[in-house]
Chain A
């Protein structure tokens, strides 16, 4: 499903200046919490016959955080699943131009997600919606979609900047 290469993308780009460790840590934490909550759920049900299935809602929220944080790290490292079968066979200048288009498409996607996601959050904030399971304000969940989409947006812009810089220094060398 994934190629297990952890190094930087095509052309040996410079690593990002803001370390990816931050998103890595958040994604790993979300993963660990999902496991612990679900495990606790199994133990409690086994020993007491009670269930706290309402934690499902929180686990699902953690999964969304895990997805967006992990995806951000993967954008910074260029490890997303993509078909490079055709672009690998192009001359490098043309391939780089296409890469800019691809990055622009990515930036557009997460720009839209951040901007309109913000309105989703505002709805929950203004109408004081509470979550169906635990009963905490819903905006605590929905705020992360625009916030983390904005982080991904910045990661994509960051990769574009590194690519442009790499092209310039590569041209001189």
Chain B
């Protein structure tokens, strides 16, 4: 094979299992087209965001607000956003909260989900319904504020974690997955004398990597995106996480309050807003590929058969 076709083959290596038919030419072509279209639809706007973040103001004015490929790229917008150390500090806060929060949430979620997943356990139904109820009725801002205040969490980082520790949706998802684990495995362990906690840690968890990865991702993203709770519970701006700081930049023109008051607000330049967006997304874009392997086939098989 020529060099180029070898490279292509490597890049597009396809491992076809013996029982599967060879993918048809047409099938592959159609798939390729569909995927290319999807990718373009998604990537194109991102290139615009990236390009605009690197474009000097004049080019943006000429381009009507957005620039795909700047002729004279500049890091000015990033410099402005990152100056003063405010963004850097808030990024650290966000990272800390995300790591701690995700760990805490995951642990509690798994515990609750497992506790509710074994059939005919006492109290499963009431607890489950209790939990589902929370999914539907959101308590108000002021009542929540009062509870947080009473628990002494105001102005502490814990206020960003404890009030949002669990998400009923995620618990339901994990529980459903746990229920799908074959009873034979669990019974076998019980007969060997294992207690529930052992069963959970030795048997159930190792089999649940995919769903745990999904739920961890959901929690991590929501902690990373913490916004309103920070504004409400933390009066000290130096404790604010990244999203709050960044959002302060992305105000298109006048905000409602400002307009109403007749107050003059300096609309941030387009490149500033786009730089803010890039900074907000980059960490997630960087972390996600590492989680991907949990979403790829092959992780589960073998455990059951063995």
Partners in one complex: no
Which residues of A does B touch, CB under 8 Å?
none
State the B residues within 8 Å of A (CB). Answer: none
